[in-house]
Amino acid sequence: MSKADAFTQAGRTAVLQNIHGTMQFLQKFPPFNQMENAHLAYLVEQCQLRFYAADESIIKPGDGPVEHFYVVKQGRVAGERPHSAKGGTETTFEITTGECFPLAALLGERATRTEHRAAEDTFCLQLNKQAFIKLFALSTTFRDFALRGVSSLLDQVNHQVRQRAAETLGTQYSLNTRLGELAMRHPVMCSPETPMREAVKLMHEQQVGSIVIVDEQQSPLGIFTLRDLREAVADVDADFSAPVRHTMSLAPFHLSPDASAFDAAIAMTGRHIAHVCLVRDGRLCGVVSERDLFSLQRVDLVHLARTIRTAPRIEALSSLRGDIIQLVDRMLAHGASSTQITQIITLLNDHTVCRVIELTLEEKGDPGVPFSWLCFGSEGRREQTLLTDQDNGILFEASDAAQAEQIRTRLLPIAERINQSLALCGFTLCKGNIMAGNPELCLSRTEWARRFAAFVREATPENLLASSIYFDLRVVWGDESGCAQLR
């Protein structure tokens, strides 16, 4: 028996000799305190006890796809990543007694992006990947916990990161500020019959970038902004004496004055708008602009999203990743929660993916076949972090298998180029090849339906784990109807 095998056997024996005590220990912590005894006993029987001396590496990115699940029995584990600005490494989180790792990497069948190192002499219960997959299939409680794990880990990380960001950037402004507090002035408004020239004059006199068109009850009908003015000036046939209703943007987006600055930021970013009307009881009571929202905190989410969507080259998109990191730091300093941060990152990542696809189609040419770009797993659940790998696929329509093969042949070179370009923009290539450039994930709607049916029909632990990735899907780019029919 080798030395490594001897250590493994000793660790296994240590657990088996005290199954009852190990179960009692685990039952103090979630999710183990809610699991059925039989499932918890299975976990304990499959575990071995491992010791790590202070500062010893437990797992690191260079080890490749994760092969074990760990629960800290005694001691502390530090998560360390390279520090981009100062060099060296920084501790981004700590895992203590009763907590487990690395869920996201195990579920994604990839390497961890963080080195996990013993912060002091530490004992861990270690479960191999096959046993983890079986437990994932057996226990609904454990499965739900594992799928929620990324979000809960982000909550643990968030407090430490926010403290560091606040030390650097200050906390004078909060993303939870009510919009009513930001809209300090009375809204500038006019009737739909007001001539466009008069509306522009009002905007100039009041030094605002928009005017809201309202009815007799002061309910918003439309909005006229500097963007609308530019379009009118560029139109040689524009009549500036005509009613502003002819050139206004209809049905402007609105929120309650009790909504938060974060709500407005997400709306502006997702809808490509620079103004949000505030409405209470059907009446306009204020307008918040992009400038109102971001001038106090030097965090211009909308501007960054716009820059991403208009980037002229892949290289330009790649250079913007640093801006996203800075934005997240500032958002944290101003009170953003982990849920808000993941929502922001997902929005900006979606914009990046869409722009990469558009630039690739400009370069490679239109394939002549409509397709939808799908994302899976954490990206599908909108739970992305700054360091994310690719989990994507392509969906298209085909009348039969022969046509599907012809379309796939046309789309695969484009998909492969998109995958490579996304990698240049910070989206790591998936080591498990869960990418659209994989012929098995560039499928017609019929082929996707058949693949999903197999996951359900053959309820093996492996298929259950795969379904936890693929069933969290959404469309990032393209028509959404095909994906909706799959659901």
Model confidence over 41-87: pLDDT tens digits?
A: 999 999 999 999 999 999 999 998 899 999 999 999 999 887 554 55
Identify residue 385 by its one-letter amino acid code: T
Could you tell me the strand order of the sheet in which 474-477 lies?
Answer: 442-444, 392-396, 372-375, 474-477
Res 152 pLDDT > 50:
no
Name the nearest CA neighbour of 214 among 258, 273, 279, 267: 279
CA 312 to chain centre: 24
Name the nearest CA neighbour of 143 among 480, 486, 459: 459
Q: pLDDT tens across 411-464, in order?
A: 999 999 999 999 999 898 988 899 999 999 999 999 999 988 888 787 677 777
Average pLDDT, the chain: 85
Res 166 pLDDT > 50:
no
* Contact (CB, 8 A) for 175 and 265: yes
CA distance 224 to 214: 11
Taking residue 473's Cβ as centre, other Cβ atoms within 10 Å add up to: 22
What values do phi and psi take at 330, rounded to 5? Answer: -70, -40
What pLDDT shows up at residue 157? 46
Q: ∠ CA 203-206-210 to the nearest 5 degrees?
A: 40
Q: How large is the average pLDDT for residues 358-383?
A: 90
CA 277 to chain centre: 27
Q: pLDDT tens across 132-149, in order?
A: 989 988 898 898 888 765
Outline where 334-400 has alpha helix (H). 338-364, 377-380
Tokens (6 digits) for 166? 């606040």
Domains in the chain with CATH codes: 3-138 (2.60.120.10), 186-294 (3.10.580.10), 313-486 (3.30.460.10)
pLDDT confidence of 279, banded at 50, 70, 90? Answer: very high
Tokens (6 digits) for 156? 């643990």
Tokens (6 digits) for 146? 């594992």
Q: How large is the average pLDDT for residues 327-341?
A: 72
What pLDDT shows up at residue 294? 66
Res 227 pLDDT > 80:
yes
Helix (H) or strand (E) holding 439: none
CA distance 334 to 299: 10
